[in-house]
Structure 1
Amino acid sequence: MAVGIDQYGLGPLGLSPQALLRWAIDHGADGVQFSGLEPEWRARIDAAYLDDLRALAEGARLYLEWGGAGHIPRDMTTWAHRDLFDENRTVAVEAARLGARVVRSCSGGLMRWDAAAPQTEILLRDTARALRAQREMLRDHGVVLAIELHFEFTTHELLRLFEMCEAEPDDWVGVVLDTMNVLTMLEDPLRATDRILPWVVATHVKDGGLRVAGDDLETFPTAVGEGVVDLPAVVGRVAASGRAIHLSVEDHGGVLRLPVGEPRFLAEFPDLTADERAALEMVARQAERAGCVATDRDRWPEVCEARMIRDLAALRAIVAGVEAA
């Protein structure tokens, strides 16, 4: 299994796309997933730039996965409607030129934390309508719009979304499995993986912790192997799928509070069963026993490079163990 990096973890270094590929080469990574380019670099993107990037990747036998797409057709602050077709077509064209099949999509919303946000079912219908309109465009460019398991939709909701889109796995829409973000969406990582695995086309392999904070919960990333996500089991399931799914390390600082003590917030997760909530409580106890520690977001720029190097080594060891089993 190919083990590479996601761009976000090294974001504070301000690397150009070419410099990021060279970092991957220098540190033995097998590829790079681009989360999306900063305006400074996006302004420089043209056919020649993409051709040079592809040549560098192919010369080093790196996989490339592109980013910059969105799926919820709303401004995620004002909730006003917006058209994503042209924006997504642009990144689909870029991905095709790069020879990248995967285009990562993230709309970046924390709508369950915002009482003013539209109901999730409304956003699901909006998203399904927008995605159906992009289906043939994505097929024409030979790319898969890969919706990250971020803080927008749970795996349960994504399965309903794909049904609303009349989509099938391994076609034009899929999922970036973020192994830690699912905790923030009140999903057990193994159960979430099992639910969504047929749709997974890319990954953010990220470890993390879950802890009790008064009446609430908090989630946070950790270095690979130092959290409570059962990464050997998750990687084993991905490997057993028999599909060429790349493992891209993602890591960052910060803590996110989940106000589960508020009935309004908890009601935003209607698919959460008592059994899975009990499993999450067990994970929180495990994190407490293990002494999982969060990294302050402000400290991330000074530790990001060393941590990503450690993460790569730890994930390679996990993969070696899975492949040897």
Structure 2
Amino acid sequence: MTRRTFLTSAAAFAAALPASGALRGKKMGIVIHSYWKRWQGKYSSMKFPPFEHALDVLDHVRDLGVGSLQTMVGGWTSEFAQKVRATCESYIIKLEGSITLPKNENDVGRFEQEVRIAKEAGATIFRSATGGRRYELFSSLEEFRHWKDGAVKSMQLAEPVAKRQRVKIGIENHKDLHAAELAEVLGRLGSPHIGACVDTGNSIALLEDPMTVVETLAPFAVTTHIKDMAVQETPTGFLLAEVPLGEGILDLPRMFALFEKYNPGIGYHLEMITRDPLDIPCLKPGYWATFPDKPGTELARTLKMVREHNAAKLPKTSGLKLEEALELEEGNIVKCMHQAGEKLGFMPSLKPKPAPKKEEH
């Protein structure tokens, strides 16, 4: 793909997107993965009850004042979708879907049904991911290329459905494709209905500069996963961890400006996953199995960045009691929402606590 073709495709895609207000008129949304411990009862307690379905989550995030929820929509019935829509409208919360692309031609029917029912709930923007951690999943370039062919095929199968249903689907940079690889695929598809869900931190695991990732994918962005990241050097590479907004190394305001430039109507969704740091073993030979052409300068730049921002301590949940881990998860989300409203230009989200009543004498 030539640079001219890439820029033309990006401009055409951006022009097809709706425009709306400025950042200050927006509220930060949230991704269901921020509640990965409580989601569907994996971990919970009396103080932090499980979220069995989207309605439970909506009840909770209403009190945080979020502007939107991005959540899985698989397995919904039409009746449940109507309940979700009524709840979102009542709480003034937008809905985005997280959906699995069709695996093959026989899976297209399932995919379209899920899109159609999610539309009944009010979702017209969807996030999807085609893979996972490239350096862990594939032991050879051939394996990776075979997977990539399948991922592209899934996008091709999804495009006519998205067009027919008049929705947009953002493919996440999910530690699988480089930003330029994903942009090249989206440029080839050339559809206003298949774009990018830009995650602000994931691609550090592929030794990519996070600002360059946003610059590359912002022209295609239909939705976002907003996170801040911290790093710590190890003998075999580095550890990578989500941290509350403003406590990491990302230039989030500059990233927001790029998103707004290409799609003023874009939604921002916090993905604050409270977990142990991820190990990025970029100094082990196996890490490089699917990166035969990656320049050594990317490794050098990344390790320089890690050493300059080397955190003395990274957050983790292993070793914590259940209640402690749940408390940490909720506390991290609340910190992020405060930061979004107070420092990053979003509308204040957290509802102010009522003033204490004066004691009568």
For the 8 Å contact 2:135–2:287, the answer to whether it is kept is yes
1:100: which partner in 2? 123
Does structure 1 residue 90 correspond to structure 2 residue 113? yes
Q: How has the CA–CA distance of structure 1 residues 144 and 271 changed in structure 2, closer, same or farther, with 3 Å as cutoff?
A: farther
Higher relative contact order (CA 8 A, sep 6+): 2
TM-score normalized with structure 2 length: 0.76
Runs of 4+ residues over 6 Å off in structure 1: none
Q: How has the CA–CA distance of structure 1 residues 185 and 87 changed in structure 2, closer, same or farther, with 3 Å as cutoff?
A: farther
RMSD, aligned α-carbons: 2.5
For the 8 Å contact 1:228–1:283, the answer to whether it is kept is no
Q: Provide Cα deviations, 1:163-203, integer angstroms capped at 9, x if missing partner.
A: 44x324xx111111111111112211101000111111111
Q: How has the CA–CA distance of structure 1 residues 151 and 20 changed in structure 2, closer, same or farther, with 3 Å as cutoff?
A: same
Does structure 1 residue 125 correspond to structure 2 residue 149? yes
For the 8 Å contact 2:31–2:69, the answer to whether it is kept is yes
Q: Tell me the distance in 2 between the aligned counterparts of 1:306 and 1:221.
A: 13
The 5 A counterparts of 1:1-325 are 1=23, 2=26, 3-13=28-38, 14-15=50-51, 16-34=53-71, 36=72, 45-70=76-101, 73=103, 84-116=107-139, 118-164=142-188, 166-168=189-191, 171-252=192-273, 253-270=275-292, 272-288=294-310, 291=312, 293-296=314-317, 299=320, 300-320=325-345
Q: Tell me the distance in 2 between the aligned counterparts of 1:272 and 1:316.
A: 39
Q: Tell me the distance in 1 between the aligned counterparts of 2:101 and 2:332.
A: 28
Report how far residue 141 of structure 1 moved: 1.0
Larger Rg: 2
Gap regions ≥5 residues in structure 2: 1-22, 39-49, 348-361
Gap regions ≥5 residues in structure 1: 74-80
**Identity within the alignment, %:** 19
1:76: which partner in 2? none
For the 8 Å contact 2:139–2:290, the answer to whether it is kept is no
Report how far residue 265 of structure 1 moved: 1.9
**Paired residue total:** 304
For the 8 Å contact 1:232–1:318, the answer to whether it is kept is no
Report how far residue 226 of structure 1 moved: 1.0
Could you say what secondary structure the match of 2:290 adopts? coil
Q: Tell me the distance in 1 between the aligned counterparts of 2:115 and 2:319.
A: 34
